[in-house]
A and B are shown apart, each in its own frame.
Chain A
Amino acid sequence: MYKTNYHRASSVEEATSLMAGADDGKLLAGGQTLIPTMKQRLAAPSDVVDLRHIADLKGISVAGNQVTIGAGTTHADVANSAEVRSVCPALADLASHIGDPHVRNMGTIGGSIANNDPAADYPAAMVALNATVHTNSRQIGAADFFTGLFETALNDGEIITAVTFDAPEKAAYQKFPNPASRYAMAGVFVAKGGGGVSVGVTGAGSDGVYRASDMEAALNTNFSSDALDGTSVDPADMLSDLHGSAEYRANLVKVMARRAVAAAS
C-alpha cells in the first residue's frame, strides 16, 4: 500500500468537506474493494475518507411496502434483517451470498453500488427493483445510476446516503459464481411488482448491469420459467474472460433467469 492520509468523518457534511480538501480523495464505505486494490498498489489515493462511523448512513426501515436501506448498512445487516426478510426475502438472500462472512460484515450496499463492479450482486437488484439512489445532493433512479463498467452517475465527492424501493410481490435472485473469485459470472434478479416484471442481470453484460427487456416482456405475458424459452441472449452483448466465454455467459443468463423465475413463483 502506498502512503495515504486517513480521515474518519462523523457526518456526511464533514466527509464532503474532507473530500473537497483532498488532492485525490477516496471515500471508504466498507473497503472490500478499495483496501485490496490499495494493498495491491493499484490505487493510491492521497486521502481516504472513512464513512463507516456516520450513524446517519446506517439502518433499515420499512414503511408500508417502501424499504429504505442506509448506504452504510452492511451486507450482513441486510441479510439478517427481519424486516427485509419479511417484505423482500430475495434481497436478504442476495446479501447473504455476497463474498464471505468477512466481506459481508464489512462491505456495504452504498459501497457496492458506488463501485458498480460488473460482477457485483446489488446492482442487479437495484435495477430490477427500480430502486432510487439517494445522495447528499439528489435522487437518482437505478436505471440512470449505473452507467457502465465501474461507472455511475455520481459526481466527484457525491455521497450515497440511502437506497429506497417498493417491495415487490415476488422476487428472486440466482447467481452463478465464478469458480475462483465466487463473484457473479451471471446473476439474475427477477422482480414482479405493480409496474410489471423487471429482470436485472449482473456479471455477464459487456456494459455491466442491465435490464433484460425481452425477458421482461415474455414474463409480463406469462410469469413462468417456460415463458423464457422463446427469448435469447446475444453473446455479442456479453463479457468474455478466462472463466466464461460470451456464449457460456449468454447461456448462464438464461439458465439463471429461469431458476430465478421458478424460485420467485
Chain B
Amino acid sequence: MGAEGIGARVARKEDKRFITGKGRYTDDMVVPGMKHAMFVRSPHAHAKINGIDKSAALAMPGVIDVLDGKQLTEDQIGSLICGWMIHSKDGSPMNMGNWRPLAEDAVRYVGDAVAIVVADTKAQAREAAEAVSVDYEELPAVTDSMAALADGAPQIHPNAPGNQIYDWEIGDSGEVDAALASAAHVTELNVVNNRLIPNAMEPRAALGHYNAAEDHYTCWTTSQNPHVARLVMSAFYNVAPENKLRVIAPDVGGGFGSKIYIYPEEIVCLWASKRTNVPVKWVADRTESFLSDAHGRDHVSNIKLAFDSDNRITAMKVDTVANLGAYMSLFSSSVPTYLYATLLSGQYNIANIHANIRTAYTNTAPVDAYRGAGRPEASFLVERAMETAARELGVNPAELRRKNFITEFPHQTPVIMTYDGGDYGASLDAAMKAADYDGFAARKAQSAASGKLRGIGMACYIEACGIAPSQAVGSLGAGVGLWESAEVRVNAVGTIEVLTGSHSHGQGHETTFAQLVAERLGVGIDTVNIVHGDTDKVQMGMGTYGSRSGAVGMSAISVALDRVQAKAKKIAAHLLEADEADIVIEGGELKVAGTDKTLPWFQMALAAYTAHNLPEGMEPGLKESAFFDPSNFSFPAGCHICEVEVDPDTGVTEITQFVAADDFGTIINPMIVDGQVHGGVTQGIGQALLEGCVYDPGSGQLLTASYMDYTMPRADDLPSFTVETTKTESPSNPLGLKGCGEAGAIGSPPAVINAITDAIGNNDLAMPATPQTVWSAMKA
C-alpha cells in the first residue's frame, strides 16, 4: 500500500468544500429567469377530487401559472412505475395502482401532490398554493397494513382488491411444516419492524429547465442515480427522449435510499418548465420531506424456528405483511421479497426455509428501500428469534449461534442466495473479545448494586451487497441491469479523470475511487478527479444504493485501469525499447524491471497524445472504459454486541457499550469505513430506541411530521463505538470488496433489543424502545 493507496486512512478530498459551506447542491443552482414552485398537497389521507378551482391563485401577485393533473394528462405525461415485477404465488402479476404525478381523480395519502404553483418567488408560490381550492370528498382511510388487508377495509386502488399488492412465497412449505412438526423445540415470535422516515440532511429538490430553442430539458435533482432517473423519465414518463434530457445530480446531502426513486416533483418541474416557459425550481421544506419522502421498513412478521434435540436449526417459517403505502415506489416490490426473504438464512445452516409475504396498500406515504432495504428486517427477525431461542433452550446465545454457523463456502441457502465466503466465527470472537463478554456478569452485579438493570445482546447479521448480477436480477423481475460503468481518462499531462456511474452523496467516492487509481498507477490522489452525477458527462451508469459502489462501481474502474495500464505499458516498452512484460508501474513512473531505465508517467501520457512515436498501429490517446457485471452479490457479515443499563424508575436505556465487528472484505479507506459503521449503527440505534413514524389510524394524519415528535438520534443518545474488522475477501469482484454502507443499520437494532430484553426480563418489546415502552414492558 502506498501512502494514498488501498488501505490508507486518507482524509476526504471532498470535505473541504462541505465543511466550508462550498458544496453545490440543487438549491444552489441558479438559472437566468428561474421561478419557484410550490406543490399543493392533499390534507386528507383519502379523498375523491371533485374539482379544482385555481382562479383565486392565478390572480395572486407573482403567479405565473397553476398546473394540475388534467393538464398533465393532456400532455400525455406517464404514470409512475414500480420497476421490479413480482408475481403472486398463484402466478398473477402484482396489482400496481395508477400513480399520477399530480393526482387527478383521488388523493391517497396526506401529502399527495395535486397541483403545482409557479411564481416569481417561493413566498408568492406558497401564498398562492394555499389559495388553490380543491373540492375534496373525504373517504375512509386505513394506515395499518393488517387493517388494510382485513375485510371491509377502505378500497384504495380499484385494481388491487382488498388492498393486496401480491401474495408471494419462497421455499418449500411442505418440508418446513414437516420439520416443525417433528422438532424437539420450536421458538415462535411476533415481530414488528417499525416504520421510519429517512431524514436526509438535504431535503429533496428539483430544478427543471426547458430550453425551447433547442427543445432540450435539463433537470438538476437530488438523486442517487441520475442515469436511472433519465432512463425512467424518458422511457416511462414521456418527459423527453433521452438525448433531449440531461439529468444532473450535483452534491447531494445524504440519501439513505430515499433519493433512489423518481418522484412526482422532478417530473412535474420539467413538464411545468415547458408549460410555463421558465426554469422551475422546487425545494422541499422539512415538513414536505416528512410527508412525501419514501418511508422505510413497516413489516409485521411471525417467525417459527425449529430445533432438533442437539439445538441445530432444522427449519424456519416466516409470515410477513409489508406496508407499501399509497403507491408502489420504484423498487418497493423488491424490498420485502428478494432483498428480505433471500437473507432469512442469516449466518446459519438451515435446510428448510419458507416465507410468505403479503404486501398492502395503505393511505400513507410510499414505502421503499431505506438503508439496508429488507436486510435489516430479515436480520432483526432472525436475530431476535435466535436470542429468544437461546433463552428458551437455556443455552448461551453465542454458542447457539456458533453451533449453527455456516462454515463451508460457497454455501447454497434454501432461499436463492449462494454465500460466496465468510468467517462468522471470527467476527463473533472479535466482537466478544472487544466487548469483554466474559466480564458481563460482574458488570451486571455492579449495576444492580446501584439500582440499574444491565443487559447484553448480540446480533450476527448477514447482508447482500453490490446488487447484481444483471442476468440473475432480471430473472427475478428487475426492470434494469445492475452492472456499473467506468471510464478512465489519462490527460496529456498525465493527470487522470475517472468518470463513474456511481454517485456519491456522502460516501466519499472522490477519495476512495482516487485511492484505487493511486494504488494502481502510482500517482497521487490530487492528480485524480472523480466525475459523476451528470448524464451529459458520464456514460450510462446505475447509481449508488445497496452498498454497491465499491463492489460494482470500483470494480468497473479496476477493469478500466487494467486496460489503461496495458496500453501505458505498451507505450513505455516502445519508448524504452524493452519488453512490455518487463514494464512495472510504480511511484509515478514506468520502469523496466531490473534496470535503471524509467519513463515518467506524464511523459508516457504526453507520448500517447502527441502520437509522434507510438507502437506500430496503435491509436493515439489514453482513455479506457469498462462495464462491470459481477458474478454474485457480495456478503458482508459480522457480529454486533450491545450492552445497556436500564433505569427501572423511568425506563431510560443507556447504551454503555456498542461493539461492531464486521467483515467487509478489502477495505480501501479505514477512516471512511469507520464513518460508515458509525453512521449505520447510529441509524440502527435510532430505529431501536428513538425513531418511529406514526400515522393517526382514523384520520391518516402523520403525527410525527416534525422533529418535535419524530426523534432523530442525537450525539448524547449514543455511546462511543468500538469498531473492529475481520477480513475474508469477496471472490465475486476483482478487489475483494464487500460493502459497508448499510451493515451498521442491519446489525444494530436486534443487538440493542436483545440487550434491553435481557436487562428487563421481558422478551416482548416493541421498537422504538422509548423510555415509556421499556417502562411499560417492565410492568407487564
Contact = CB atoms under 8 A, between A and B. Distances in A.
A179 B119 CA distance: 39
A179 B770 contact: yes
A251 interface: yes
A157 interface: no
Interface centre among B651, B704, B708, B772 (most CB of A within 10 A): B772
Interface in A75-104: none
A252 B650 contact: yes
B709 A251 contact: no
Contacts of B656: none
Interface in B644-693: 649-651, 690
Contacts of A242: 694, 703-704, 709
Contacts of B649: 251, 255
B440 interface: no
B690 A179 contact: yes
Interface string A242-265: 111100100110010000000000
A179 B708 CA distance: 9
Q: Could you tell me the dominant secondary structure of chain B's interface residues?
A: loop
A181 B772 contact: no
Interface centre among A176, A180, A242, A255 (most CB of B within 10 A): A180
B40 to A, nearest CB: 14
Contacts of A248: 651, 771-772, 775-776
A242 B649 CA distance: 20
Contact of B772 (A40, A243, A255): A243
Contact of A181 (B287, B703, B708): B708
B710 interface: yes
B711 A180 contact: yes
B621 to A, nearest CB: 56
B776 A179 contact: no
B770 A251 contact: no
Contacts of B708: 180-181
Contacts of B710: 180
A176 B770 CA distance: 13
B709 A244 contact: no
Interface in B737-779: 770-772, 775-776
Given A242-B709, A243-B772, A245-B772, A176 B650 contact: yes
B236 interface: no
Contacts of A251: 649-650, 775
A246 to B, nearest CB: 11
Nearest to B690: A179
Nearest to A39: B285
B409 interface: no
B707 interface: yes
Contacts of B771: 176, 179, 248
Nearest to B652: A176
Contacts of A181: 707-709
Interface centre among A176, A181, A244, A248 (most CB of B within 10 A): A248
B365 to A, nearest CB: 18
Contacts of A255: 649-650
Contacts of A252: 650
A248 B773 CA distance: 9
Contacts of A243: 709, 770, 772
Interface string A171-190: 00000100111000000000
A145 B711 CA distance: 33
Nearest to A180: B711
Interface string A6-17: 000000000000
Contacts of A245: 772, 776
B477 to A, nearest CB: 38
A184 to B, nearest CB: 13
A176 B710 CA distance: 17
Interface in A229-243: 242-243
Nearest to B714: A182
Interface in A38-79: 40
Nearest to B704: A242
Nearest to A258: B649
Contacts of A176: 650, 771
Contacts of A40: 287
A244 B711 contact: no
Contacts of B287: 40
Contacts of B690: 179-180
A180 B707 contact: yes
Interface in B547-594: none
A179 B688 CA distance: 13
Given A252-B650, A255-B650, A244 B772 contact: yes
Interface string B697-711: 000000110011111
6 contacts: A176-B650, A179-B771, A245-B772, A248-B775, A251-B649, A251-B775
Interface of B: 287, 649-651, 690, 694, 703-704, 707-712, 770-772, 775-776
Given A179-B771, A180-B708, A180-B712, 19 more contacts: A40-B287, A176-B650, A180-B704, A180-B707, A180-B709, A180-B710, A180-B711, A242-B694, A242-B703, A243-B770, A243-B772, A244-B772, A245-B776, A248-B651, A248-B772, A248-B775, A251-B649, A251-B650, A255-B650
Interface of A: 40, 176, 179-181, 242-245, 248, 251-252, 255
Nearest 6 pairs between A and B by C-beta? A180-B711, A181-B708, A255-B649, A248-B772, A179-B711, A180-B709
